[in-house]
Amino acid sequence: MSEQVPVGQPPDWEPRIVAFFCNWCTYTASDLAGVSRMTYAPNTRVIRVMCSGRIDPQFVLMALRQGADGVLIGGCHPGDCHYQEGNYKCLRRFAMLKHYLAAMGIDDPRVRLEWIAASEGDKVQRVTNDMVQRIKQLGPLKLEPVCQPGCRAMAGDQPSVGNRAVAADI
Amino acid sequence: MPGLQIQRRVKYQEELDADFPRRVADMPGAADLNRCIQCGTCSATCPVSSFMDLTPRRVVAMTRAGFKEEVLRSNTIWLCASCYSCTVECPKGIKITDVMYALKRLAIQERAYPRHFPTPVLAREFFHKVRQTGRSNEGQIATVMILKTNPLKLLRQIPLGLKLLVKGRMSLWTEKMSGNKRQLQDLLDYMDTHKELR
Amino acid sequence: MRFLYYPGCSLKSSGRAYEESLLAVFARLQFPLEELPEWNCCGATAYMGIDEKKAFVLAARNLALAEQHGDGQPVHLVAPCAACYLVLLKTQKYMVEYKPIGRAISDALKSVGLKYRGQVKIRHPLDVLIKEVGLERIRAAVSRPLEGMKIACYYGCQVVRPFAEFDDPHDPMSMDDLLRACGAETVDWPCKVRCCGAMLTGTVEEVGQRRSYMILHEAMRRGVDAVATACPLCQFNLECFQGPMSRRYRDQVEMSVAYFTQIVGKAMGLDERTLGMHRLFIPLRQPPALLGTSHDC
Amino acid sequence: MSQSPACPRIGVYVCHCGMNIAKQVAVEAVTEFAARLPGVAVARHYKFMCSDPGQELIQQDIKESGLERVVVASCSPLLHEATFRKACAAGGLNPFCFQMANIREQVAWVTADKGRATSKAKALIAAAVERVSRAQPLERKRLAVGDKVVIVGGGIAGIHAALTIADAGKKVYLVEREPTIGGHMAKFDKTFPTLDCAACILTPKMSSVKNHPNIELMSYSEVEKVEGFAGNFKITIQKKPRYVHEELCVGCGECVDACVFPKAKFPSEFDEGLALRKPVYMPFPQATPAVVVIDPNTCLQLTKGKCKQKCVEACQRGAIDLKQEPEQVEVEAAAVIVATGFKTFDPRGLPQYGYGRYGNVYTSLEVERMVNASGPTGGEVVLKDGAKPRSVAIIHCVGSRDKKTHPWCSRVCCMYSLKLAHLVKERSGADVFSFYIDMRTPGKGYEEFYDRLLEEGVHFIRGRVSHITDWAMTKAEEGKLVVSAEDSLIGVTRRIPVDMVILSVGLEPQPDAQEVRKKFNISCSQEGWFLERHPKLAPVATFTDGVWIAGACQGPKDIPDTVAQAGAAASEALALIDKGYVEIEPNTAEVDPEACSGCKTCLGMCPYHAIRRDEEKGVAVVNEALCKGCGTCVAACPSGAISQHMFTDDEIYQELEGILSYV
Ligand SMILES: Cc1cc2nc3c(=O)[nH]c(=O)nc-3n(C[C@H](O)[C@H](O)[C@H](O)COP(=O)(O)OP(=O)(O)OC[C@H]3O[C@@H](n4cnc5c(N)ncnc54)[C@H](O)[C@@H]3O)c2cc1C
Ligand SMILES: Cc1cc2nc3c(=O)[nH]c(=O)nc-3n(C[C@H](O)[C@H](O)[C@H](O)COP(=O)(O)OP(=O)(O)OC[C@H]3O[C@@H](n4cnc5c(N)ncnc54)[C@H](O)[C@@H]3O)c2cc1C
Ligand code: SF4
Ligand code: SF4
Ligand code: SF4
Ligand code: SF4
Ligand code: SF4
Ligand code: SF4
Ligand code: SF4
Ligand code: SF4
């Protein structure tokens, strides 16, 4: 099956996905995927947090604003939270966030919540590949670069790595 | 469909000879048969296994499982050149060469060898000659063997025989043992009359 | 210590050159070998296939005679033929290891007034030359070193396998050491102990001759002048079927195959006829350096 | 170079991990890239960062180049974060001024394309550099630990661990859910490869457990709830009603004789159903504790509420109490060892083997009971009709090495099949046919045991049995069970008629492994075995500090390996107790009183009730000792007044920016 590159999209474009994984389940699972040498699309970049309950919806919005084409949130299965119920809280926030994103016109597959247990290395692989695939179909996320309070990179109070040294390296 | 050869390949337990492995194992050198782990070293090192219908490893397996017919009719036991390679290499110390000897003897006893197959014939000739003279005569034995198994081949062997004669490497008369030939015959006969010894 | 010589049937017929050269070399080394009187066929390979106990009894008779000959002194029985060597060793070993065999043989020997107490040491000439005579004495006896001669030592199956203890069964070196002491170069090759086809060369030619052919082919590929053997059957197989082999495998096979004793004798400057050189089908090839020159003075 | 607090001096270390990373990631290029990132004063790459010279590199640079922050790009922080934090501390840097970039597990090992792996590694390093610049020096807090251990499961693993710890002078609560300890091993007659009598080596240990002053044996009990953390667990144990007062019963058996059921009638659990028992029974003569138990499912009084209660009458010690209720006990423990063992595969899932259909098809565990001298047949191997079998087939790998059941090799069944072959042959003189796929005998003396069995003349047939049937094809097969397999070494299919079949069932996780795992907050592998922290380097540790695993609950293993693990778990627990304290990660939450509006949103968020409201000041306050650092409150605070150490918003935004500034 050949991949369809949507019109108007650079052929070598690759989606950038930020992943917030909880320390106990999903981060461990992605280590397990590594130990098991399961190759998958290299488009995700993981940020480790102790619990999915720590994930502030702001983080997601900030990621999208700063150029991510998608955000993946990974936590322990319901009932398995290392902190008892952080993942439920995450789920509640996620539901709210979804409404907000829909209002902003951000397509559903771009922000995804998955329960991935420490033993589910294969799920990390599956979910990542699937997500990359879907976002490729959607193409790059184009947001109006509105500057929000707290968005320091945009506000210019903080030198962005991308703007400076690194650009030449790409 | 013509040409499609169909053969029953399942083995029922009752078709096997449960006593066969014991008979083989009772022979000197063959006692360890059971310890084979089927590693195949014997087959791999055997200089002639590439021509055998059953590799030495399979011979061991089948002997142990009681496949008497198949084993005694295989060409393997006759192709074995007694090189002792397998015996030296076997990780379990199984004296496969001795097993092959044991199987040869059983095949001869049971008359289960291929007709006109030279080796058993050669062995018999050798046997008679030694009993008569105390020594063997390679040339004569070979000639009789060829006559009995494949007379046409004798023609082809004439040049070699002549050459050997000229070089003094073959004699038409048998070199006989000096001295007490009777003693030797008595010795061999003793083994025949005292069957309980075998 | 007495060293008795057990020729076996082959050394009296197809392997005569082996006997001739062996005795000549030992004589030159002043190490006399006395032939065991009244010896009989060793029982060898083929016999095992029909009646193992009879084969053992045949060999045992020889051992009993040798022991008798020693008058209570330890006796060494030197058996140059690989098959004889093996069968004698095997008989001695199995008589001890397998009680029923030991008993049957003893009974049979007793019935004809013989007895064997296991006092005979069975030796191969290679063993004797290295361990008893010693390379020093051999070097000293070499008058025409085989300079420039490249030899592949072929030990065959039964000399170092499975019972012998004087050399390594996978990579024997005694013959190599011996011929090097005679000034020759020997090659390290993988065929030293690979089977020549034994009886199969005559019985199942397509199988047997292929073995010999593969060995000779490798020797030729390694550019040796000769293959040295230590067994009459090996020598026969490797030398006498070169014609049929060449036809069968469409490959011109031509290689000198001599007994190691013949080659050693040559280095000692012994006479060609004494060494049975005239019995070879293919004369021993010698490098030009050795032709005609004489180091004797 | 000037040192400004806004832009601390950072050292970046890129690890090759031999070829593990270097094969997929261009480490030199990555290092050059890192050198040009803002604040980076030193960037190096090295073969093995975790090795001593690797760590020294960091220490040296801290001292010589005045590094204020360190980033190591190597494996997972779950593996080596502690290592490098220690290295930083040794160099004189606060260990929390450190960040790891996981370029092995999450880059090199999972990325097919080298170029893209390199890019991803660069992004992660950029992120770590950005993040670490915001890291704050932090202090770890120490908490004192208790000196008691709870061990769950009284098989050989639990027993051995309990004795080890108790002998070291620490108190052990051994919790076993069955009426007796001993686990599987108590059922065996002999153990491979030495064939020593299982009872001879196990029962002395069992009675030591009972008699040890430091062990409190809680049989017929299960753990209900686990609270707390390493060093300070609070564990609730539920004692099931035995209907017998353990401390009064002396195991005389009068009650059993007296029971209104004149004959034993119900299948005995311990004898795998091969023998019968009464409602009041002793599981087996050496049961520990040597106390009877009344089964509520078969006792007339307990099921129907109507019985003459002859048992009560018979007991002169008044030990029987048919009104006993479950009891809950709460204990404190510094450490927990989970040793709940395994379950054997139920061959009913493979109807082709006829278990349950043909009377003379047995599981290995049943035959273990049969060959046991004190078992239901007194050690005789007999068929259902009481006759001795003349031929017996043993089928390996039943429920193992099969995608349809369990993919794994159960590791002990080759060896126990050999053992059973020997015992069956010895006891019945039967011809034994052993059908195997591979003969797996790796262990000291194991291959030699196989050799011995070969010599004994067991018929080994390499081939997996397709089915067992009573469909006779020949006269000799009539009335027999026919075993069909390809003899793959001989190259023919064979049908072998036998009288008895033994199924060498595999080992599988306990059916309640998931619940147990949740209670103790540990993980399971995909298959359901408890997950060790590291398969090689931390085989008995779990990802939860203070909880260890031992024995077959971690994966199939034999008794020697089980005991080795039990010893290891015991000594790790003792090491924790001996150390006397645990250190708490300083990843707790903190409220900025200036910013807090006092809305109380956070109070309901915290699962540990670590936040309270300071009524006086009208602001929320976090109790550091109770906070476990989940960060839920932080995400919830509408005023952004709470921050979590090590995971401040600032740090996370910074990391995000690092990631996204680079493709
Ligand atoms: C047929 C067979 C034969 C074998 N023969 C041998 C042999 O000869 N030699 C050898 O070395 N190995 C043998 N093994 C392997 C051996 O059985 C195991 O290595 C050993 O039993 C493992 O011990 P364990 O304590 O980990 O588990 P187990 O023996 O399974 O003990 C676990 C204990 O924990 C209890 N438990 C379970 N869950 C809970 C819970 N939630 N709460 C409280 N308690 C719980 C159980 O009731 C049990 O008492 C054999 C295995 C089988 C199946
Ligand atoms: C080729 C090979 C590959 C392997 N691959 C793997 C693998 O991939 N995975 C795996 O799990 N296992 C593997 N193993 C097994 C692994 O090597 C061993 O399990 C492990 O090394 C055992 O560790 P050890 O500490 O017991 O012994 P060793 O590693 O042998 O260490 C013993 C140490 O003691 C020292 N020493 C010895 N005698 C004395 C003395 N008298 N005084 C002082 N010091 C002494 C030695 O010098 C040595 O440093 C492999 C083994 C080999 C041979
Ligand atoms: S002794 Fe026979 S079977 Fe064994 S390797 Fe030699 S030829 Fe083959
Ligand atoms: S080498 Fe020995 S163990 Fe291996 S297959 Fe041959 S006989 Fe069996
Ligand atoms: S630090 Fe991690 S990645 Fe580097 S060598 Fe050690 S284990 Fe490998
Ligand atoms: S309950 Fe009473 S009668 Fe029954 S075994 Fe215990 S002490 Fe004996
Ligand atoms: S109450 Fe009745 S049925 Fe129950 S154990 Fe006692 S006598 Fe037996
Ligand atoms: S140990 Fe043996 S019987 Fe058990 S699953 Fe592994 S291979 Fe099969
Ligand atoms: S971080 Fe978690 S545990 Fe700590 S106070 Fe906040 S909610 Fe409670
Ligand atoms: S949620 Fe925030 S603002 Fe509200 S009480 Fe808690 S810390 Fe204060």
Nearest CA to ligand 7 atom 2: D309
Residues D334, D286 share a domain: no
Are the beta carbons of A63 and D656 separated by less than 8 Å? Answer: yes
For chain B, the residues whose C-beta falls within 8 A of a C-beta of chain D are: 9-14, 32, 34-38, 57-58, 61-62, 64-65, 67, 92
| Residue burial D152-168, b: 16+ Cβ < 10 Å; e: rest | bbbbbbbbbbbbbbbeb
pLDDT tens digits along D193-213: 999 999 999 999 999 999 999
Could you tell me the two tokens for A45? 């970049």
Q: What is the mean pLDDT of chain A?
A: 82
Mean pLDDT of D484-505: 96
Burial B38-54 (b: 16+ CB within 10 A, else e): bebbbbebbbbbebbeb
- CA of D476 to nearest chain B CA: how many angstroms apart? 7
Return the structure tokens found at D425. Answer: 């042959």
Q: Are D19 and D134 found together in one domain?
A: yes
**Is the Cβ atom of B58 under 6 angstroms away from ligand 4?**
no
Cβ–Cβ < 8 Å for B137, B175: yes
Between the CA of D185 and the centroid of ligand 1 the distance, in Å, is 6
The CATH number given to whatever domain includes residue D412 is 3.50.50.60
Question: Measured between CB atoms, which of D76, D523, D628 is closest to A119?
Answer: D523
Residues D473 and D365 in one domain: yes
Q: What is the mean pLDDT of chain D?
A: 95
Where residue D4 falls among pLDDT bands split at 50, 70, 90?
very low
Cα B65 to middle of ligand 3, angstroms? 21
Mean predicted confidence (pLDDT) in C28-53: 83
Q: Please report, rounded to a whole number, the percentage of residues in chain D having pLDDT higher than 90.
A: 92
Q: Of the candidates B139, B85, B188, which has an alpha carbon nearest to the alpha carbon of residue C43?
A: B188
Residues D411 and D500 grouped into a single domain: yes
**Each residue's pLDDT tens digit, C255-286:** 999 999 999 999 999 999 999 999 999 998 77
Does A159 score more than 60 pLDDT?
no
What is the β-pairing status of strands C2-5 and C75-78?
parallel
**Residue among D454, D462, D495 whose CB faces B12 most closely:** D495
For ligand 6, atom 4, the nearest C-alpha belongs to D255
- Classified as helix, coil or strand, D124 is helix
d(CA A59, CA D655): 11
The beta-carbon contacts of A90-97 under 8 Å, at least 24 apart in sequence, are: A90/A51, A90/A52, A90/A53, A90/A55, A93/A55, A93/A56, A93/A57, A93/D635, A94/A57, A96/A57, A97/A57, A97/A60
| CA neighbor of B119 nearest in space, from B74, B164, B55 | B74
- Return the ∠ at Cα C46 (arms to C45 and C47), rounded to 5°: 95
**Count of H-run helices and E-run strands, chain A:** 5, 4
Helix, coil or strand: residue A38: coil
Question: pLDDT tier at B127 (50, 70, 90 boundaries)?
Answer: confident
Domains and CATH numbers, chain C: 2-123 (1.20.1050.140), 143-290 (3.40.50.11810)
| Mean pLDDT calculated for residue range A1-30 | 79
Q: Is D538 in the pocket of ligand 10 (CB under 6 A)?
A: no
**D358 and D395 co-located in one domain:** yes
**Residue A162 above 50 pLDDT?**
no
Whether residues D105 and D232 share a domain: the answer is no
* Ligand whose nearest atom lies closest to the CA of D83: 5
Judged by phi (left if over 0) then psi (alpha if -120 to 50, else beta), residue D39 lies in left
Whether the CB of D610 sits within 6 Å of ligand 10: no
Cβ contacts of D489-494, under 8 Å, gap ≥ 24: D489/B38, D489/B57, D489/B58, D489/B61, D489/D461, D489/D462, D490/B58, D490/B61, D490/B62, D490/B65, D490/B67, D491/B58, D492/B9, D492/B10, D492/B11, D493/B9, D493/B10, D493/B11, D494/B10, D494/B11, D494/B12, D494/B13, D494/D461, D494/D463
Nearest-CB residue to D105 (from A35, A86, A165): A35
Which CATH number does the domain housing residue D83 bear? 3.40.50
Q: Which of A113-117, D247-251, D581-585 has the lowest mean pLDDT?
A: D581-585
Contact C108 B187 (CB under 8 A): yes
Say yes or no for a CB contact (<8 Å) between D491 and B67. no
Same domain, D192 and D266: no
Q: Which two tokens stand for residue D575?
A: 């090491």
pLDDT score at B141? 66
Question: In a mutagenesis test of the A interface, which of D12, D111, D632, D653 is the best target, namely the one with the most A β-carbons within 10 Å?
Answer: D632
What's the mean pLDDT in D173-198? 96
Query: What's the mean pLDDT in B7-23?
Result: 90
Name B47's Cβ contacts closer than 8 Å, sequence gap at least 6.
B81, B83, B85, C194, C195, C197, C211
Domain CATH for D610: 3.30.70.20
pLDDT value of residue A167: 28
Q: For residue B152, what pLDDT band results from cuts at 50, 70 and 90?
A: low
Ligand 1 centroid, distance to D341 Cα (angstroms): 5
Number of domains in chain D: 5
d(CA A145, CA A65): 7
| Residue at D493 is within a domain | yes
Q: Extract the tokens encoding C288.
A: 């030009």
Q: What is residue C297's predicted lDDT score, i.e. its pLDDT? A: 38
The answer to whether D474 contacts B92, with C-beta atoms less than 8 Å apart, is no
Q: What is the mean pLDDT of residues D394-416?
A: 97
One domain for residues D90 and D236: no
- How far apart are the C-alpha atoms of A60 and A23, rounded to whole Å? 18
Residues ≥6 apart with Cβ < 8 Å to D374: D199, D284, D285
Q: Which position has the higher pLDDT, B184 or D529?
A: D529
pLDDT at residue A4 greater than cutoff 90: no
Tell me what the pLDDT averaged over chain C comes to: 90
**Set of chain A residues whose Cβ sits within 8 Å of the Cβ of D107:** 42
The answer to whether the Cβ–Cβ distance between A59 and D525 falls below 8 Å is no
Q: Which one is predicted more confidently, D424 or A157?
A: D424
- Tracing tokens 């090799």 back to the chain, one arrives at D409
Residue of A51, A60, A120 for testing the chain D interface, max D β-carbons within 10 Å:
A51
Residue B152 burial (10 A CB sphere; 0-12, 13-18, 19+): exposed
Residue D651 placed within a domain: no
Report which secondary-structure segment, H or E, holds D54.
Answer: helix D52-65
Q: How confident is the model at residue A3 (pLDDT cuts 50, 70, 90)?
A: very low
> So what's the pLDDT on residue C205?
85
When CB atoms are compared, the residue of A45, A89, A159 closest to D123 is A45
Q: Residue D402: nearest ligand to its CA?
A: 8
Q: How far is the CA of A118 from the centre of ligand 5 (A)?
A: 21
- Write the residue with the smallest CA distance to atom 1 of ligand 7: D309
Contact between A62 and D656 under an 8 Å Cβ cutoff? The reply is: yes
Mutate to test the interface with D, among B8, B12, B14, B23 (most CBs of D within 10 A): B12
Q: A147 pLDDT exceeds 90?
A: no
Helix, coil or strand: residue A125: helix
D113 and D225 in a single domain? The answer is no
- What is the per-residue pLDDT for C43? 79
What sign for the dihedral angle of Cα C267, C273, C275, C279?
Answer: positive
Distance CA(D168)–CA(A151), nearest Å, equals: 58
- Band (D222; pLDDT cuts 50, 70, 90): very high
> Which domain range does residue D288 map to?
254-314
The Cα-based distances of C65 to C1, C80, C85, C114 in angstroms read 16, 18, 16, 8
Using the Cβ of C12 and the Cβ atoms of chain B, whether some distance falls under 8 Å is answered with: yes
Mean pLDDT of D26-35: 96
Measured distance CA(C23)–CA(C128) in Å, rounded: 13
Nearest CA to ligand 3 atom 5: B46
How far apart, in Å, are the Cα atoms of D144 and each of B102, D336, D495, D542, D577? Answer: 77, 16, 67, 21, 9
D597 lines ligand 10 (CB under 6 A): yes
List the single range of B158-167, C182-191, C282-291, D332-341 with lowest mean pLDDT.
C282-291
Out of B79, B124, B183, the one facing C112 most closely (by C-beta) is B183
D489–B58 C-beta distance less than 8 A = yes
- Residue A1: pLDDT band by 50, 70, 90 thresholds? very low
Nearest CA to ligand 1 atom 7: D191
D644, closest residue in chain A (CA to CA) = A54
Ranges D159-168, D266-275, D526-535: which has the least confidence = D526-535
Residue D321 Cβ < 6 Å to ligand 6:
no
Q: Could you say which of D478, D507, D536 is where a domain stops?
A: D507
**Phi and psi at residue D167, to the nearest 5°:** -65, -25
CA–CA gap between residue A129 and residue A113 (Å, rounded): 15
**What is the location of CATH 1.10.1060.10 in chain B?**
14-109
B91 lines ligand 4 (CB under 6 A): yes
Q: What is the pLDDT of residues D281-303, one digit of tens each?
A: 999 999 999 999 999 999 999 99
The number of residues in chain D equals 663
The candidate with the shortest Cα–Cα distance to D542, out of D513, D512, D517, D574, is D517
Atom 4 (ligand 3) nearest CA: B86
The rounded distance, in Å, linking the Cα atoms of A29 and A35 is 10
Mutate to test the pocket of ligand 4, among B34, B52, B60 (most ligand atoms within 8 A of CB): B60
Ligand 1 probe mutation, D180, D185, D222, D368, most atoms within 8 A of CB: D185
* C199 contacts on B by Cβ (under 8 Å): 81, 119, 122
Which of B50-64, C40-54, D182-196, D304-318 is predicted with the least confidence, judged by mean pLDDT? C40-54
pLDDT tens digits for D585-630?
899 999 999 999 999 999 999 988 889 999 999 999 998 878 889 9
User: pLDDT at residue C295 above 50?
Assistant: no
> Minimal Cα distance from D391: which residue of B?
B13
For a ligand 5 pocket test, name from D83, D86, D104 the mutation site with the most ligand atoms within 8 angstroms of its C-beta. D104
D440-to-A15, C192, D84, D189 alpha-carbon distances in Å: 48, 37, 41, 22
CA distance D348 to D346: 5
D131 and D14 in one domain?
Answer: yes
D145 within a domain of the structure (yes/no): yes
Report CA Rg, chain D: 31
Structural tokens at position D219: 């049989």
Atom of ligand 6 nearest to the CA of D250: 7
Give CA–CA dist D371/C127, Å, rounded: 57
Same domain, D25 and D72: yes
Point out the ligand nearest to the CA of residue D535. Answer: 2
Which residues of chain A make contact with D120, given a CB cutoff of 8 A?
A: 42, 45
- Among residues D591, D573, D569, the alpha carbon closest in space to that of D582 is found at D573
- Mention every residue, 6+ apart, whose C-beta is less than 8 A from residue A130: none
Confirm whether D650 is domain-assigned: no
CATH H-level, domain B14-109: superfamily: Alpha-helical ferredoxin (1.10.1060.10)
The phi, psi pair for D394, rounded to 5°, reads: -115, 125
Which residues touch D480 (CB under 8 Å, ≥6 apart)? D391, D470, D472, D497, D498, D499
Query: What pairs with residue D174 in β-bridges?
Result: D151, D217
d(CA D307, CA D255): 14
Q: Please tell me the predicted confidence (pLDDT) of residue B3.
A: 73
Contact B38, B57 (CB under 8 A): yes
pLDDT at D178: 97
Ligand lying closest to the C-alpha of residue D621: 10
Q: Which residue of B has its CA nearest to D495?
A: B12
Residue B34 is classified by DSSP as G
Q: Is D495 within 8 Å of B34 when comparing Cβ atoms?
A: no
Cβ neighbours, 10 Å, residue C197:
29
Minimum mean pLDDT range among B164-173, C237-246, D57-66, D71-80: B164-173
Strands D581-584 and D141-144: antiparallel
Q: Cβ of C195 and B168 within 8 Å?
A: no
pLDDT, tens digit, for every residue of A32-90? Answer: 999 999 999 999 999 999 999 999 999 999 999 999 999 999 999 987 888 888 999 99
With H, G, I as helix, E, B as strand and everything else as coil, classify residue A32: helix
Contact yes or no for D150/D222 (Cβ under 8 A): no
Do D380 and D490 lie in one domain? The reply is yes
Distance in angstroms (rounded) separating the CA atoms of residues D361 and D469:
11
Q: What is the DSSP letter of C270?
A: -
Strands D507-509 and D431-436: unpaired
Q: Which chains touch D (3 or more CB pairs under 8 A)?
A: A, B
Q: What is the pLDDT of residue D37?
A: 94
User: In this predicted structure, what is the pLDDT of residue D231?
Assistant: 93
Cα(D219) to ligand 7 centroid in Å equals 21
Q: What is the dihedral of CA B93, B97, B102, B104, to 10 degrees?
A: 160
For residue D501, how far is its CA from the centre of ligand 8 (angstroms)? 17
Indicate yes or no: CB of C50 within 8 angstroms of CB of B48.
no
> Chain D partners of B9 at a C-beta cutoff of 8 Å?
492-493
- CB proximity list for D616: less than 8 A, separation 6 or greater: none
Beta strands in D513-570 (DSSP E): 547-549
Distance CA D462, CA C194 (A): 32
- Distance between CA atoms of residues C114 and C64, nearest Å: 6
Pairing label, strands D148-152, D335-338: parallel
Residue C220, pLDDT > 50, answer: yes
End residue of a domain, out of D555, D583, D611 = D583
